[in-house]
């Protein structure tokens, strides 16, 4: 992953996603060789020369002003998340030095999620599973029992058959996971992310196709449908907490609407597993 390639691929994908009529341009009278907008059309919409836009898309434009970045973002109809990702690519240098190692979660955070009766999971910046409580293991999977290299939500989603059982809407959730992982690439070249993406692309054609779509997303909040063999179907809310000064770590907490059948099922699942929850292993251990 290099700055120039990432910027080119991202802008090309956004151009391909827009039809001329969506941006107020006349519909083409003849069939185009490629779908979406042409470079010269984006340049005209952004108010820059075609030569400059080509250099920008190739990552050769040098320092890009905020005014030009805003104009290109408007021309390509980028949303807030996509605009931030675009700017991160513009401001990424090519000489980044060694990839920082993901820090372990603070012991206080681990104690906090283990005290919860609802599922909770601590993620690293590239969806590494840094810790998960007993209810989370019951709902999703026992990540503590996996080798350290396999403790990653994206890897689990595509390479572990259980993910397709747990998530009723697997294809939709999997695409969102890829979009979140793609967003984590905004910081530029990264050995950890490159290794994750390379491994998944080699072993999962579905991942490779979704990665090529270049969707960008963030873990925020929403509703997901789950299935567990012991209690059946559940409809759960999820909320992401972004942790300051924690090297990109987040906590995702799952809960059910008060008084709903899913709340009863989730409580039953948590109570059923709590008495059998093993002592958490030392997460510094490697397998």
161 has a pLDDT exceeding 90? yes
224 has a pLDDT exceeding 70? yes
Q: Which two tokens stand for residue 96?
A: 């980044």
Model pLDDT, residue 102:
62
Model pLDDT, residue 259:
95
CA distance 264 to 256: 9
193 has a pLDDT exceeding 80? yes
285 — pLDDT class (breaks 50, 70, 90): very low
Q: Residues of the chain with pLDDT > 70: what percent? A: 86
Q: Which two tokens stand for residue 177?
A: 């996971």
Residue range 82-104, pLDDT digits in tens: 898 888 888 765 444 444 556 78
280 has a pLDDT exceeding 70? no
CA distance 278 to 273: 10
284 has a pLDDT exceeding 70? no
Long-range contacts of 146-151 (CB under 8 A, 24+ apart): 146/287, 147/287, 148/285, 148/286, 148/287, 149/287
Mean pLDDT of 141-148: 94
Model pLDDT, residue 4:
65
Cβ-count burial 124-156 (b if 16+ within 10 Å, e if not): bbbbbbbbbbbbbbbbbbebbebeeeebbbbbb
The burial class, CB within 10 Å (0-12 / 13-18 / 19+), for 13 is: middle
Domains in the chain, CATH or no CATH each: 3-90 (1.10.260.40), 107-274 (3.30.450.180)
50 has a pLDDT exceeding 60? yes
Model pLDDT, residue 147:
93
Residue range 241-266, pLDDT digits in tens: 998 877 889 999 999 999 999 999 99
CA distance 120 to 132: 6
Q: Indicate the average pLDDT of the chain.
A: 86
187 has a pLDDT exceeding 60? no
Model pLDDT, residue 287:
39
Radius of gyration of the chain (CA): 22
150 has a pLDDT exceeding 60? yes
118 has a pLDDT exceeding 80? yes
3-state SS class at 121: strand
CA distance 125 to 216: 15
Q: Which two tokens stand for residue 48?
A: 């820059």
276 — pLDDT class (breaks 50, 70, 90): low
Model pLDDT, residue 9:
87
């Amino acid at each position: 992953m290099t700055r120039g390639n990432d910027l080119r691929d991202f802008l090309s994908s956004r151009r391909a996603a827009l039809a001329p009529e969506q941006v107020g341009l006349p519909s083409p009278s003849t069939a185009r060789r490629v779908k979406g907008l042409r470079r010269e059309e984006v340049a005209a919409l952004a108010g820059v020369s075609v030569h400059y836009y080509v250099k920008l898309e190739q990552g050769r434009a040098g320092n890009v002003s905020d005014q030009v970045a805003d104009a290109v973002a408007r021309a390509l109809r980028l949303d807030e998340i996509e605009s931030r990702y675009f700017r991160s690519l513009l401001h990424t240098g090519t000489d980044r030095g060694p990839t920082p190692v993901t820090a372990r979660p603070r012991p206080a955070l681990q104690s906090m999620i283990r005290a919860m009766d609802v599922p909770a999971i601590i993620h690293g910046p590239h969806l590494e599973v840094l810790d998960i409580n007993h209810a989370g293991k019951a709902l999703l999977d026992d990540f503590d029992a996996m080798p350290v290299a396999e403790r990653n939500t994206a890897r689990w989603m595509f390479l572990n058959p259980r993910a397709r059982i747990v998530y009723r809407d697997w294809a939709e959730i999997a695409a969102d996971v890829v979009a979140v992982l793609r967003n984590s690439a905004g910081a530029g070249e990264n050995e950890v992310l490159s290794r994750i993406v390379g491994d998944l692309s080699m072993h999962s054609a579905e991942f490779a196709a979704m990665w090529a779509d270049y969707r960008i997303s963030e873990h925020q909040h929403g509703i997901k449908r789950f299935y567990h063999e012991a209690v059946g179907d559940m409809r759960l809310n999820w909320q992401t907490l972004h942790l300051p000064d924690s090297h990109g770590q987040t906590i995702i907490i799952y809960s059910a609407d008060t008084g709903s059948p899913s709340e009863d099922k989730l409580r039953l699942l948590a109570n059923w597993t709590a008495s059998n929850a093993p002592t958490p292993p030392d997460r510094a251990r490697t397998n």
